[in-house]
């Protein structure tokens, strides 16, 4: 198998690193997320605001949305997105009108934070 040119390999590694960073930041913020190890596509709970979805050009299906972390997607852009998402979520869930989507049926039980919290409480 031929080796990829160094610059292309470096770009792929950057995308994978940024995708893992983004997935970890989503989970730290309490947002269910999933990322396959060798993928740059991060799947997470669908936002409740269609305007937000359009603004960030998110691909959504059912309860999930996804972001493909490409070479032009910087840590700063990911942080901007996440900060706005966290801020919007605070208003969406403020009065209990909306609840976060559980993405377990779409991507597996380990990706739904509500499911993970229930299981971890059972093991205490």
The DSSP symbol for 38 reads T
Q: In the chain, which ranges are E strands?
A: 33-34, 41-45, 59-61, 64-68
Q: Give the residue extent of every domain in the chain.
A: 6-122
**Whole-number Å distance between alpha carbons of 2 and 39:** 21
Out of 3-7, 49-53, 80-84, 107-111, least confident range: 107-111
Q: What is the mean pLDDT of the chain?
A: 81
List, for residues 67-118, the tens digit of each pLDDT value: 999 999 999 999 999 999 999 988 877 766 666 666 666 666 555 554 443 3
18, 67 Cβ separation under 8 angstroms: no
**Whole-number Å distance between alpha carbons of 119 and 71:** 37
CATH of 6-122, one of 3.90.1150.10, 3.40.50.720, 3.40.50.150, 3.40.50.300: 3.90.1150.10
Contacting residues for 42 by C-beta, under 8 A, at least 6 apart: 19, 22, 23, 26, 33, 34, 35, 66, 67, 69
């Amino acid at each position: 198998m031929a080796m990829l040119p160094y610059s292309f390999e470096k770009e792929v590694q950057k995308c994978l690193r940024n995708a893992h960073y983004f997935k970890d930041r989503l989970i730290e913020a309490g947002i269910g997320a999933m990322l396959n190890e060798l993928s740059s596509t991060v799947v997470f709970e669908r936002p409740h605001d269609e305007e937000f979805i359009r603004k960030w050009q998110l691909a959504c299906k059912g309860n999930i949305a996804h972001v493909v972390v490409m070479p032009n997607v910087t840590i700063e852009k990911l942080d901007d997105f996440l900060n706005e998402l966290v801020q919007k979520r605070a208003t969406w869930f403020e009065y209990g009108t909306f609840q976060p989507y559980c993405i377990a049926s779409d991507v597996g039980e380990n990706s739904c934070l509500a499911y993970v919290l229930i299981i971890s409480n059972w093991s205490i």
